[in-house]
Chains A and B, each alone.
Chain A
Amino acid sequence: DAKTTQPNSMESNEEEPVHLPCNHSTISGTDYIHWYRQLPSQGPEYVIHGLTSNVNNRMASLAIAEDRKSSTLILHRATLRDAAVYYCILSASGGSNYKLTFGKGTLLTVNP
């Protein structure tokens, strides 16, 4: 499976933008880039996913490098409720071998 590399932790201030990086230099052409987050004492929660183009939804934006070897999750205005572990995950969509492999993620701390 292609691997992802994320910083162990990041810190942000409330109402400021947050850019969470992810490196995936061994990504294959069919791998989607997924982001999930896990708030304290809760199950993971889907945030966003993309393949090649940048993506936006109500929670965040995903910026994907042109060579697809890295991506950045952007929270436009961090709130205290965004404090969580953020996971960047690669997975080929479809097929019987589809799975999400969660690494250690980035622990985001949001300061008031």
Chain B
Amino acid sequence: IAGITQAPTSQILAAGRRMTLRCTQDMRHNAMYWYRQDLGLGLRLIHYSNTAGTTGKGEVPDGYSVSRANTDDFPLTLASAVPSQTSVYFCASSPRRGYNEQFFGPGTRLTVL
């Protein structure tokens, strides 16, 4: 692994189903982030984690949950998916919260029907 990986690459999901998007980084970064990108709205922060064991809410946290059991992994869970959660999801990391450069993963394209 080099950098940040996300899985799956894309997914079509029925409304009401539970879904976990995976994110793993091998750079030993303390801070990690989840964004969603929608046409015309730019990227919006969903949740973040300053360090393993801590998480915080971003701009659009409703309907999403995260956990940070260790430094490398930061999964994003949709407990009961709705069509408005159709989006492209990007995971990012940085050495620490507030570090000026964030490193982004390749994204997961999620479609909720």
Contact = CB atoms under 8 A, between A and B. Distances in A.
Query: Chain B contact residues: over half helix, strand or loop, or mixed?
Result: loop
Contact of A98 (B42, B97, B104, B107): B97
A32 to B, nearest CB: 6
B101 A46 contact: yes
A42 B106 contact: yes
Contacts of B90: 43-44
A94 interface: yes
B74 interface: no
B53 interface: no
B40 A104 contact: yes
Given A96-B50, A102-B42, A43 B107 contact: yes
A16 interface: no
Query: Chain A contact residues: over half helix, strand or loop, or mixed?
Result: loop
Interface in A86-112: 87, 91, 93-96, 98-105
A93 B98 contact: yes
A73 B105 CA distance: 24
A15 interface: no
A45 interface: yes
Nearest to A92: B98
Nearest to A32: B100
B111 interface: no
A99 B100 contact: no
B39 to A, nearest CB: 10
Nearest to A95: B98
Interface string A64-101: 00000000000000000000000100010111101111
B104 A96 contact: no
A43 B100 contact: no
Contacts of B19: none
Q: Which 7 residue pairs spanning A and B have beta carbons closest together?
A: A43-B104, A94-B98, A102-B43, A98-B98, A102-B42, A46-B101, A49-B100
Interface of B: 35, 40-45, 48, 50, 56, 58-59, 90, 92, 97-107
Given A95-B98, A99-B45, 5 more contacts: A93-B99, A94-B97, A96-B97, A102-B35, A102-B44
